[in-house]
Chains A and B, each alone.
Chain A
Amino acid sequence: MAELVLSKVDKIYRSRGKKSVHAVKAFDLTVKAGEIVALLGSSGCGKTSTLRMIAGFEDVTSGTITLGGREIHTLAPSARGVAMAFEAYSLYPPLTIGENIAFALKAAKLPVSEADAKVKDIARMLEISDILGKYPSSVSGGQQQRASLGRALVRSADLYLLDEPMGQLEPQLRAVLRGRIKHYLREHKCTTILVTHDQTEANALADRIAVMEDGMLQQYATPAELKARPANLFTGTFIGEPPMNIFDATPSIASGEVRFDLGNGNVLTYNVSELSDTVTALIAKMPQLVIGIRPHALHVAEGPIRATIMSCQWLGDQTHVAADVGGKTAVSVAHDRVDLSPGSDVSLSVSAADLHLFDPSTGHAIAHGSDMA
């Protein structure tokens, strides 16, 4: 286990006749020894380029990468002490699944009995014990992905890189395997970076998540922090499914009350004490605001927002209620069974502590409830 530090890493793709692409911009990241970090973002955000630079498949245009105190960005991939699970699995076709997983162990000249035991353990954890003797071409995509993951995890390395490691997994297995993999990584104190576009996966596995967009780091924090205190509108709406509800609001302060006018007669009113003096003072200076409310914080109950029900979808363990608020769709999540018929009028409420306030011109967060951003 070792600490990974990326310092001012830049990546520019240049090719003749085409415009150069600045894929990663002055990226700083520190992954503590034994920590699991997710690089999260949509396609083209620079997360895969960053991973490939750490692995050594791409050159660093400028900046440094150190692992365990050792500079690795100039070393060949095999010399970096890094184990990687590829998005395209990249299993060796002429070897069986078991031989694939054992490959690096054999190369490291581990005694056969020890290697076999490790392979069996990881196969049991990933539910692929019954296909160890088969060839990659004869097993399903989900099984290949688990094999690729097993091949990376079974090695002892300073750093583990997982590129979209669970996207193809059968839905029924996903929850259990996530738990087992998280437990395994913690138990073996593996410093891990996983790259994904799926915020559900990032939230499930990572200790901290680095949200990337357009080659730049947007926010680097724990899943709980990202949910409770997103640094900007992008992070706020990217994290969370269903996504955060966004409203444009005009704030005003009068006689000890803070008002957020959402338009169409919907006005959120709170006592100044619910929002703290510092936040109120800041709001007073803003002509316009963007308010974000997470679905589970928006309640169908006696409240100031008037809405018409568009749909009420019960999904077994939660209900998603979509409501039309002055032309916009707002989503509320309830954990019990709710029965509302489409077309009925309801009111929605939200407490001050659950409000996320953003600056409309920059997208930066201003306040979360009564806390300053």
Chain B
Amino acid sequence: MNLKKTIKLKTLLSALLVSFLTLTLLGVITHVTDVHLTLGDQLLDLNRDKTQSANAVTSVVTYFRGLDTLGEVTILFLSIFGIGIGINRSDQMHTILHYDNPLLKIGAKVLFPVIILFGAYIILHGHLSPGGGFQGGVVIASAFLLMFLAEGDAYDLDHRIMTLFESLSGAGFVLVGLLGAALGGLFLSNPLPLGTLGRLFSGGILPVIYLFVGLKVASEITLLIEYFIRTRDARDA
């Protein structure tokens, strides 16, 4: 009797929470429109002559602290590598979280290119608007997650292409840094023209670095999800 009462209370509370958060998010999005103006005006003034990037966070992440980002990407690569070694793999893999639902299948097929496009937009506009390589890469990986949930075992991921993207983008990041060292004197310095603030082709090497980071994060998180969501065919055997 007591147990039943608590469960009902929890259901009520969670319904209240979800409606509250949804209304709040809608209200915030419609009312707060000057997010760009309040986001560290002083930092924007500081980095304007250095990078010509509209997003100060991006210039901190990829230019002022570019070496730290290289370290972060390396740590991510090593952790995915360790998971790939630790997971016991075989030829017959079984998708553990899969709903055989035609509505979900059609919806996933429709939404998949849209989510990929949104992730590519976030990556390419990382120096202009909020977001960047990490966020856009995870958005792209969530599109693959949706396909895993909808299609299950039928969705075949080409590991060769994924590994190729992962290694090429990691090598590209280091190559951009070495190019800066060869032309500008320091590792990850900016040899490219800065352009004008607010244009897509501006900011020198910032969009190039974020493109490589985005490709790397997307392929790595997709491989991570695939390692976790597929297991050996143990339950049916």
Q: Do A and B actually bind?
A: no
A contact set with B: CB distance below 8 Å: none
B contact set with A: CB distance below 8 Å: none
